[in-house]
Amino acid sequence: MVNDDKRQRPLPLTETLVFDIVEYLLAHAGYGYSTEISSFMVSHKPRRYTSREVVGILRNRPMFRHAQSKDRKGGIRWRLDLLQLERYLAQKGFQERASDMGIYDKMRELKLSQITATVMALETMDTTNVNEVYADIATLWS
């Protein structure tokens, strides 16, 4: 009975924003720039979020990490740390909600995509392009 009540309650606004950002990053290969993420959130949920709230969540949740970027076309580049996201969902007790939203399936697809890209980069490696392969892998995983 208690679990049913807890499940029926809506998420707090902050946690809803976390889920919205996670879904955005999962739809964009696990990466996004601050400006793009906040613009998307503010334009698609105009009555809910401000740009400052979005950036605050990005800075203060463990699953959102700074990523390496050669350019800063849209602010800081962020990446979704899937291992931290799994821990966060378990710690907060949001596994069932995440499963209902299809987040675990999207996480699995992203993991497979990143592993496939890594394997492909390694398969193209020879002694002449080590730096290029290293740069590709570093960009993918950092």
> What's the rounded mean pLDDT across residues 50-77?
88
Name the average pLDDT for the chain.
Answer: 87
> What's the rounded mean pLDDT across residues 2-17?
70
Query: Is the distance from CB of 69 to CB of 44 less than 8 angstroms?
Result: no
Beta partners for residue 79, in sequence order: 31, 65
The CA-based angle 36-72-65, given to 5 degrees, is: 70
| pLDDT at 6 > cutoff 60 | no
Question: How are beta strands 77-80 and 64-66 bridged, if at all?
Answer: antiparallel
Question: What are the pLDDT digits (tens) for 75-114?
Answer: 889 999 999 999 999 999 999 999 999 999 999 999 999 9
> What's the rounded mean pLDDT across residues 56-78?
87
d(CA 80, CA 94) in angstroms, rounded, equals 17
Going from N- to C-terminal start, the domains of the chain cover 2-106
| Largest separation between any pair of C-alpha atoms in the chain | 64
Order the strands of the 31-33 sheet from edge to edge.
31-33, 77-80, 64-66
Helix H, strand E, coil C: the string for 75-103 is: ECEEEECHHHHHHHHHHHCCHHHHHHCCH
pLDDT at 1: 46
CATH annotation of 2-106: 1.10.10.10
Distances (CA, A) of 115 to 8, 40, 108, 118, 139: 37, 28, 11, 5, 13
pTM: 0.82
